[in-house]
Structure 1
Amino acid sequence: MERTFLFLAAFIFSSGQCQDTDPSRDPDASLAVCKSDICSLIRDLGVYSAQTLELQRLTQEQAQQLQEQAQQLQALKESTSAAVPRVAFTAALGHPLGPVHIDITVKYQVIISNMGNGYNPATGIFTARVSGMYYFSYTMYNNNRGSTPTP
């Protein structure tokens, strides 16, 4: 705001409107011209000052809103990542199996991952310790070319 006032003052005095270079002119007439210009500039300065204050207020409000949003985001991050147990496993047989003619529990010996320790390689049993939906898939192949698959 000080810079604005200094700028306006410098403008007024450097523009030559308020400087009386002709001594034959009436000094009061020169002052009358300057007075209207100064009044106009002061009025404009008041408007600019009010606008500056409004912008500062809006900037402070926006900064407060951003801070509140950051706090809400942090709270949301903390609530969604707070010790949510996850269960998953990937395993491979590691050796050929079959043909098998009775029901047996297949024990996967090569454990690639066992997040949550739901799969027990000693028993071959997976225990779902967390409620939810589970997806199981397997892949098998037969490299015995001469035989036909049995149902």
Structure 2
Amino acid sequence: MERTFLLLAAFIFSSAQCQDTDPSRDPDASLTVCKPDIRDSGVHSAQILELQGLIQEQAQLNQEQAQLNQEQAQQLKALQESTSAAVPRVGFTVALRQPLGPVPIDITVKYPVIISNIGNGYNLTTGIFTARVSGMYYFSYTMRNNLEAGDNVYTKLYAYRDIYDDRMSHNTFSGFLLFPL
């Protein structure tokens, strides 16, 4: 559109007749006055039609670009909605908040305080986290194998050992799904 305007402006000004006003005859006039002379400018109707065609073409391109932008925005929104809805959210953090042990046998540590349990994978009664979604999980301890749906994760207190904790929750057990597989 900018190019069309410049062509049109150059065309109009090149075909103008300019008069320089004499300030001695007219003290208020100190500017050069230009008036287009369409009769003598050599303007052909073909040139005018060409310029009008360029203007219409530019307007059509602008309209098509606006439509493309709107379609892309709708596609992006649909993609964002489908992506966020498809990703399951799984994660938990539990705390002991009291000392445990020593005990004479190996036991599963049952963390009695649930700080968060998104997806309800941690069982407060058993102390076991059950992966309800297959995927790659992160736990706050190192683990050698990948988890599958139905796998159980828990911490164990060995016989005659103890775990110290208090109301400050120094001893916690956490895990969350990084991404599904």
Distance in 2 between the 1:77 and 1:49 partners? 42
Greater per-residue strand proportion: 2
Cα offset for 1:15? Answer: 4.8
Percent identical: 61
For normalisation by structure 2, the TM-score amounts to 0.53
State yes or no: 1:104 paired with 2:114. Answer: no
Task: Return the letter of the residue paired with 1:48.
Answer: L
CA contact (8 A) 2:91 2:119 kept: yes
State the Cα distance separating 1:44 from its structure 2 match. 4.8
Partner residue, 2:52: 49
Distance 1:43 1:16 in 2: 26
More helix by share: 1
Computed over aligned residues only, the root mean square deviation of the Cα atoms, in angstroms, reads 3.4
RCO higher in structure (CA 8 A, sep ≥6): 2
Instruction: Quote the residue 2:140 is aligned against.
Output: 137
**Matched residue, 1:35:** 39
Runs of 4+ in 1 over 4 A off after TM superposition: 14-17, 41-44
Residue 119 of structure 2 corresponds to 116
Match of 1:80 among 60, 78, 83: 83
TM-score normalised according to structure 1 size: 0.62
Q: Gapped runs of 5+ residues in structure 1?
A: 18-32, 144-151
Distance 2:17 2:103 in 1: 105
1:149 aligns with none
Counting matched residue pairs gives 118
Choose 1 or 2 for highest CA Rg: 1
Q: 1:56 Cα deviation (Å)?
A: 0.5
